[in-house]
Chain A
Amino acid sequence: MEVKAQDQIAFYLTSAHIGSALRTLDRGYRPALFARYGDLTSLRYDFPLVLNTVGSPERAVLSLSGLVDDAVNALQEDINRDRIARHGYELERQLRRELASVGSGTPASHGDFATLWNAAASRLTIEDKTDDRSSIEDSAKRLWKLFQASGELVDVDFALPARIARHVWSVVQANKRWIFRNQAERLLLKLHSILEAEIANSEVGRSPERLKASVGTSFANVFDFDIMSNVLVRAKPAVRISDDRRNRIQHLIDVLEHQRFFPIGSNAKTYEFIFYRAADAVKAYKERHREAVELVKALMVAKLEVSGEYRESGKVDDKSSANGTLEHTAIFEDFGVDGLDAGQLALLPDYLVCKYSSELDAEETMQIVDALSTGLPIKILLQTDDLLEPSVAQARLAGPERHGGLASRSRHITESTIGQTDVFVLQSSISQAFRLRDDLFRGMAYHGPAFFSVFSGATGHTKDLPAYLVAAAAVESRAFPTLVYDPSLFADDQAGDDWATRFIVDKNPDVAYPWPTHSFEYENESHEAQSKKLAFTLADFIAMDDRFKEHFAIVPNADLNDAMISVSDSLKSNSRELPTAVPSIALIDVEGCLHHAIVDRRILEETRRSQNMWRSLQELGGIHNSHAERLVEQVKAELAKVAASPTMLAATAQPVTDKAAMPAPVSGSDAVVITESSVASVEESHGDDPYIETARCTTCNECTQVNSKMFAYNAEKQAYIADPDAGTYRQLVEAAEGCQVSIIHPGKPRNPKESGLDDLLERAVQFN
């Protein structure tokens, strides 16, 4: 036993097989936690996906299982529901099997959804022995009707990241195109109408020939069109628009009709917006910049033109110049010299670049970082197929150089783009595609640059494991953690603009812990059910890769001992001394038997590095944030201190009692009373002067007809006494008598010498 433990420690330190007790990790072993995923085709999970091309953008990426479930739920009380559901699940399994049988890494694991669905249905019908055959076809048809989906059915393979990115990109662009066309076509129609209206109202438009044509053949001989033309031309002057305006409108029409961003009509050819190199995208953007500026400007000017709000230079009327009006001609002269802002760029299509990380060199990396830092609406997809590239990872594991790291090429760009704060960043494995579809949409619809770093799982070095499992394992083992950095959350007031809002890591499994742990059930030699917690670490992930098998050694089950501890436990100590325990991982072979393998020190150190990197991601994402934890400790200590001191307690209680002793604030009703009494006193203060209850005036013109200098309307068109001396007391009394709502109060006569005062005073009594 001692000797065997020595052998194990020796392997751990040197990765050399000393003694015969250890076996090499040969084909057929996979991490123990994969035990349940032996046959993916018999499980129901997110994949395959439907890249849907019909319906709303929210339904652009759908899961086949989800579609089937929704369709079955929609059947509700249908009497055939059970039969249809059963066939639906069978068809789903059949499709999954067909796509998977093509094998991971080959480009054919996708196809048209409708074709595949019908093919699967007819195959099931042929194979079916028990059921009546027409019922499978019927179920397939009914389910298909409920799906309301059409497009490609795709499973995980090396081409999937680019396929999904292009699909989501095109859905976003289609939406943009719809908005753009909706706006531009309406504007064009109205611009044309302006020009046509001028012609219709001109002499040409009223020429005898035109008039004749407009009447039609039935009455062509009834009228004398020469005379009609003559009359119309003389009677109604032509409406002419200025040459400047006509030229401007014609120019706008030309720009809108000939632009190649979102062509209107079938003549113009669309620009290409999907590129293979970031530099090409930037170059294309620069070449088209002038046209883009011209187009955005044309949209703005056209909108002003059609609403008649465009102000030409030198034609500002007095009223508007008094309000500080600027002329639009001057504004638009220099439009776009500083480039277009995000809002304006959002009108135009985005650029998409799809790139493989294995083809990245230093220059291309720089170009990507540069392109992202320009703030232009460029979306870059960087696909990583191999996280443990020999050129970087294996050299490091074998040689003395210790630079670079896991997926170092894409990580480098991810980190530098997050630092730029205005780039949308999404990093994830393709296995998360369905769960992250909303984030993907947000990124594609984001008005600035976006960077998507995706691991495809199709490494080509992982034995017979399906790409989906490898991709999922990369997320699970923290080798390629999911992260989203969404700067658009800046703009949303409700979400706030802090790092915690924008940086999202909680889509990773067991986000609060170093490694995700799962319970693992198995049977021992005497067939007793056993269960233990297993952490899925980077070491498990590396064990899947053929190229690293010499770093693992299988220990025969007879030689298992307490000195073998799990990788996650051994990472807890960081001692440099001679180890007393060796790290190990649990594996299963093709028969499903459990084995344990020792991990050598280099793999353990790599795992430790990965754990440290995850730790810093956690901190950035606000999980176990060290600053926050320190602050919490500090506050706790202070609170404890306050609680311990009785004098402090009394001091804090003091202001509360003061507040209670304060007199109650004046209540609302009291305040109203005061105001009302003051109003009343104002009302009473008219004395002997004449006055009108202006607020009750109905603008009936009675008083203003009596004397328009004495009675006038205010800005609300209600009467008041403008000048009591502008007329006689008689007029005041007559106006009061004429006022139907009796709101004129004549008061006392201002001129005592006016004739007939006695009679007038008597008549005025009822109004005072």
Chain B
Amino acid sequence: MSLLEKPRQEIWSGTVVDCDVHAVVPSVAALFPHMERVWVNWLTEREYPGPGHAATVYPPALMTTARPEWRPDDGRPPASELALLREHVLDLWGVDHAVVNCYYGIDNVRHPDLAAALASAVNNWLIAEWLEPDARLVGSMVVPARDPAAMIREIERVGGHPSIRQVLFPVRNDRLWGDRIYHPVYEAMVKHDLVMGLHWGGTTDGPPSATGYASWFAEEYASEWSNFGAQITSILSEGVFRLFPDLRVSVLESGFTWVPVWGWRLNKEWKALHRETPWMDRAPFDVMRDHMRFSVAPADAGPPAAMKHVVEWLGTEDILMFATDYPHGHNTDISALLGVMPESMRPKVMSESARAWYRL
């Protein structure tokens, strides 16, 4: 969110960790220095401009894609350079750290080798041009979704880099992420102590909702929380945390006000039906509180009196993490959100939970 309305120290005088800022690939040519020659040739021979899918989930001119003050006057794409991130977020907020996520829509590329090559190139670009030049930054690596073997190869290749703390998983996929074919991917991740970053975006095999295609972007965007809910339910039900007790999941750009209600429903079904999934030995909402964190951008906040209850219903002070989600426009009023929390919860949200989560 913008600081134009209030000085930073007035909003929050303690330390800040921003757990979701974006790096936007300005053009496929920006990746050329970071990919093998054979793929540079492949792309230039065809003049393939790169996967356009990011523009489907973030239509370029929409307010939700970038706040006006974050669109450079000179026409550079928003959030396409470290210098812009520094000017708009890192220096302005005086962050201790920020977690950089690059959603490039690679999940939309069906060519298995090109998808893997683009993922490697984005990771190389991110490390060289964002993470290494600025000590405040750590980042998520990207992987070619839907190909577990290729995901594991890329995790083995860059997952051990000191600036890489998370693997970005788009919320939409051909299969639910709890599915057993992905369990070896989680095994590789916990070896490198990488967080799973479940984020808006992705490509489904059919309609992006559980019950058909939405007609408008606004409709699709507003109902995306149900996809987050389905993915969380899958990860819990498939026993992923039972197998990998050290695995942590950040849920990003999902909103969080729906989480307690979803947790109650999961608990209710578990009480009656746990014989179906006997490895679920604890109430799912408890497991969510231990293994998952939610960013506050968007907050999707209701009136403050009601939000106070939502924060209580979450049942733990550790579960929310501050994010600007730069450059996306959510108009989250962080002051109002902090105002409905107990005082002891505010430093956890603004930096301490993310510090522990990402080992900063």
Are A and B interaction partners?
no
* A interface residues (Cβ-Cβ under 8 A, vs B): none
